[in-house]
Amino acid sequence: MRMRHRIKASLAMLSLSAGLLAANPLSAQAWSRSDEPPTAENLEALRWCESTNDYSIDTGNGYYGAYQFSLKTWEWLGYRGFPNEADPEVQDQAALDLYDYSNWDAWPSCSRWLGLER
């Protein structure tokens, strides 16, 4: 299951990357700067990398939702319940809240892979 998820995520990111490069021939790093808030495109790319853009995902590894929040982080941000049960708008806002605190460091692998790190 985990391998299938990784393959699916990789294929999705390749197609997303190809689309972004077709629209903008600059590297992924060019569309993200650490001194600017994340764009809708940044968040979508992050969601595809973290969860194949599935807001309701529960992979059984202790991380939930589109941005793969741990319950501890979710509650620390002031939210209740499980992240994967929250509306997409709530998960997006939580991701922005976490970004405001830690920049892209909350998503080390995907942010590095996407060129979003500072």
User: What is the enclosing helix (H) or strand (E) of 49?
Assistant: helix 40-51
Count the neighbouring beta carbons within 10 Å of the beta carbon of residue 101: 11
Q: Which of 1.10.3720.10, 3.40.250.10, 1.10.530.10, 3.30.390.10 is the CATH number of 2-114?
A: 1.10.530.10
Taking all residues of the chain, what is their mean pLDDT, rounded to a whole number? 82
Count the neighbouring beta carbons within 10 Å of the beta carbon of residue 66: 26
Name residues whose C-beta falls within 8 Å of residue 114's C-beta, 6 or more positions apart in sequence.
13, 28, 32, 42, 45, 46, 49
| DSSP 8-state secondary structure symbol assigned to residue 37 | P
Task: Decide: pTM greater than 0.85.
Answer: no
pLDDT digits (tens, 9 = 90+) for 52-87: 999 999 999 999 999 999 999 999 999 999 999 999
